[in-house]
Amino acid sequence: MTGGLSLSSYIKGAGIIATGGIIAKLLGLFFKVPIGRILGDFGFGLYYNSYNIYNLLLTVSIVGVPVAISKMISERASVKNYYGLYSVFKLSMTVLLLIGGISSAVLYFGAHWIIDIANWHPDTYYAIIGLSAAPFFVSIMCAIRGFFQGMQMMTPSAISQIIESIVRVIFGIGLCLYLTQSYGLAMGAGGASAGATIGAILTTLFLLFALSLFMKSFRKNINESKKIFKKESNRAILKRLTQIAVPVTLASAVVSLFGIINSFTYVPRLQVAGFNIDTATSMFGDFGRAQTMINVPLTFSAAMVITLVPAISASFALNDIKSIRRKTELGIRVMLLISLPCAVGLSIYADPIFELLFPASQYGGEILKYLSYSTVFIMITNTLQSVLQGLDKFMVPVKNLFIGLIVKFILNYIFIAIPSINIYGLVISNIGAYAVSTLLNYISIKKCLKIKLNINQTVVKPLTASLIMAIVGMKIFNVVSTTTGENIGVLISITLCVVVYFVALILLKGLTREELLLLPGGRKIIGMFKK
């Protein structure tokens, strides 16, 4: 055990969260495919508009306070101060309930005002109302998830993600179909949004049940710890919570503002380029679909963030700099091993993926072909940001992201208004903004930790394996699709590409023996390639 958490446990925790996240994202994709077909480009644009403002308001309850809870609990758990960590949890829950309640009220009572400010289509109203109750319940979910993650228990969070997605799919699609057929696209978009609210309610009930089961045995530890550690004042806890949550929230708010800038600039700048509001909304709907596709690999970086913050915090509390450095280097390497093939794979299969999932889409395949490369920079930025947060360098990623935000606004303003570029200006600005943020975060971490990355092992070999995968993958698709058709062919090709990439990586010696042993069946894999 190093720094409170071994590398194998760290990878296992990330694996559990990633598995739950991938299943949840695939269910979410299954949700958006029929929703997109039911609503069409225009209706999906209404639905996607509402999510950007929802995400901005929800940033505090999804990221800011839960990260603070996770960090503060892991710090106390590393020294077995269970009484202190329970006090942190109770006060944090109260804070989140207040934040969630205010966010819900803003969405419900301010829907018309938001639409007017954003210059959105008036029919967006019902999509916003459908989401309005969700922040209150999501705030409870996030408090409990933060508690379990701080205790480095990842399974309840993973299960809750899956439950939330299943409920959202069932109720969201059902309500969307019924309301669209009965009352039109605007109400249908509201029904799709309401699925998220129902999912949040039922997931909250599951997490409350899981927490009650855990507390039955854990109360003994709290009572024993109470005899050893002094009670922390609510004021001291709240001060520390604020010191962590506010800058983390600001960083997440800046990320949400990336989406808000897209929402606020695409209509006026596309109008300058000669497109009307209906066409602009349809284009943005396709951009939203492409964004949905890149959100699937982004689940891995979300899992890394969830495990990395408490892992780094525990090592930092014990002043184990060597452990922090190893976890940081491993985090960066793992993200590049995953993000590079994901970006290349989404790019080469963009058109057949959209033909399979969104056959009516006019722009989506071409958008995804280029937007996919932003995943590399987003995933690395998220990983580096979590390291800085674990080291108490909370304002550094905020500043770096804000610089990226300025870059994004400038690029949006310039490129979207060019008729030949139009909606692809959003793609250019996404890649540019996150590339700048990634570089600045890396420079900041290098100053703090003096990390030394093996460029050949970390970048060159995964990139080479990804290019091999792309070449072989396109040949596989061309052969298979002539027999099975493109829809089945792309699914088979994607599956085989995973194998091709992994084999290429091993043949290039892109994975060390230690890393292979961390994988399920690692010893068997080593044995196979020795033969």
Domain assignment of residue 390, yes or no: yes
Q: What is the pLDDT of residues 262-287, one digit of tens each?
A: 888 888 888 898 888 888 888 888 89
Domain assignment of residue 511, yes or no: yes
Contact call for residues 160 and 21 (beta carbons, < 8 A): no
Number of domains in the chain: 2
The verdict on 288 and 417 lying in the same domain is yes
How large is the average pLDDT for residues 108-121? 89
Domain end (from 435, 453, 471): 453
Contact call for residues 146 and 125 (beta carbons, < 8 A): no
Model pTM? 0.74
Is residue 1 predicted with pLDDT exceeding 50? no
The verdict on 51 and 39 lying in the same domain is yes
Domain assignment of residue 2, yes or no: no
Domain assignment of residue 366, yes or no: yes
Is residue 312 predicted with pLDDT exceeding 60? yes
The verdict on 344 and 293 lying in the same domain is yes
- The pLDDT confidence band at residue 125, using thresholds 50, 70 and 90, is very high
Domain assignment of residue 527, yes or no: yes
Q: What is the pLDDT of residues 10-58, one digit of tens each?
A: 555 556 666 666 677 677 767 777 888 898 878 888 888 887 778 777 7
Q: How far is CA 36 from CA 132, 170, 290, in A?
A: 21, 15, 12
3-class secondary structure per residue, 394-461: CHHHHHHHHHHHHHHHHHHHHHCCCCCCCCHHHHHHHHHHHHHHHHHHHHHHHHHHCCCCCHHHHHHH
Average pLDDT score over the chain: 86
The verdict on 465 and 448 lying in the same domain is no
- Domain range spanning residue 16? 7-453
Domain end (from 427, 453, 479): 453
Q: What is the pLDDT of residues 424-466, one digit of tens each?
A: 999 999 999 999 999 999 999 998 888 888 899 889 999 999 9
The verdict on 493 and 427 lying in the same domain is no
- 250, 242, 280, 240: which is closest to 262 by C-alpha? 280
pLDDT of 315 reads 77
Give the separation between CA 100 and CA 482, rounded to whole angstroms. Answer: 52
pLDDT of 257 reads 85
The verdict on 382 and 459 lying in the same domain is no
